[in-house]
Amino acid sequence: MTKEIKNNDPYKLAGVDIEAGNTLVDKIKADVGKTQGPNVLGNIGGFAGMFKLDGSVNNPTLVACTDGVGTKVALAQENNKLETVGQDLVAMCVNDLITCGAQPLFFLDYFATSALDVDQAALIIKSIAAACKSSGCALLGGETAEMPGHYIGKNFDLAGFSVGIVDEQKIINGSAISSGDAIIGIESSGPHSNGYSLIRKILSESSAPQNEIAAMIDLVLKPTTLYPKLINQLLKKIKINGMAHITGGGITENIPRILPDGLSLDIFKDSWIFPKVFQWLQEQGDISNDDMYRIFNCGVGMTLIVDQSIKEQAIENIKSQGYEAFHLGNVHGRDSGNSVTYL
């Protein structure tokens, strides 16, 4: 008796669709290719990405960052608004990278899911590619993994990795900061990609009308602002003594990370207005001012520290590029360590 031969793919039966992965690669090639210049060797589909340094930096130092989008992914998925989470992923990496004065060179993504939805993945990677192009870096490669049983239902997660370059003599590490320097705040687009476990809790427990909650969901899902082009233009015009990307830990914890010992901050609470989305979250969540400053960026996505004599020039340069900016505070010498005082 002849044994019946089944054409079923055993790996597909286990929940992993190899053909879907191949289809995704074909679908994203054009978007990825738009980010790649002459420094990228080869093309998508190989085992590794290659990027040729061209000697444009005198004393090249490579800078690397990695990050994710956190539970903003879950909120975006729950509301079927995935068009911009790719930008969130890129921004959380390249915005960290540029704080030392580096130019992003390339980016890689890691997309892990329970079962690959080709159209959904292509939408996200299209957003990643667009954000890379806007940041002046190549989408060099990435990895897509199907992990049924580990990710449940249609869950997925994103991670990103970025590498940049800076002249060793031009590294900005905060060592040039001194007492009397001015802190410049640059606007955020919203919570960016931090505090979303609390945001989701507030949204789920809110007794506000549904149309109000829907409007807030749109606001908190605004994509993270990309700062590399702005900062690179500023570096050609003004001297920046230090930079801090306001992420988890908010204003309270991020700016002190770049201060030399013995320096502290005075932050002027009246120098900017909490955007509507943060006012709503504070009210609905019954959150103190101290906790708001420690959890969220509160409308301040990036900060620069400059000599007091050029603070107005810095603010005008930032505004000329389409961003709101303000004199957020000053640096002072104190014996109490790198503390932050809100005045």
145 band by pLDDT with thresholds 50, 70 and 90: confident
Strands 138-146 vs 103-113: parallel, antiparallel or unpaired: parallel
Least confident of 27-36, 127-136, 279-288, 317-326: 27-36
Query: What integer pLDDT is reported at residue 256 of this predicted model?
Result: 93
C-alpha radius of gyration, the chain, whole number:
22
Please give the CATH number for the structural domain made up of 10-170. 3.30.1330.10
Compute the distance between CA of residue 228 and CA of residue 281 in angstroms, rounded to an integer.
28
Q: What is the mean pLDDT of residues 144-167?
A: 89
Q: What is the mean pLDDT of residues 53-68?
A: 89
Compute the distance between CA of residue 245 and CA of residue 103 in angstroms, rounded to an integer.
15
Burial of 38 (0-12, 13-18, 19+ CB in 10 A): exposed
Give the residue from 42, 45, 40, 41 showing the smallest Cα distance to 28.
45
Q: At what angle do helices 228-235 and 85-97 cross, to 10 degrees?
A: 30
Q: Assess whether pLDDT exceeds 80 at residue 301.
A: yes
| SS3 state at 75 | helix
Least confident of 24-38, 115-129, 228-242: 24-38
44 band by pLDDT with thresholds 50, 70 and 90: low
Query: What integer pLDDT is reported at residue 337 of this predicted model?
Result: 64
Q: What is the mean pLDDT of residues 115-138?
A: 90
- Which residues on adjacent β-strands are paired with residue 183? 305, 329
What does the domain layout of the chain look like in residue ranges? 10-170, 182-342
Give the residue from 22, 25, 26, 2 showing the smallest Cα distance to 11.
22
Q: Does domain 182-342 match CATH 3.90.650.10?
A: yes
Tokens 């044994």 sit on residue: 3
Helix (H) or strand (E) holding 213: helix 210-220
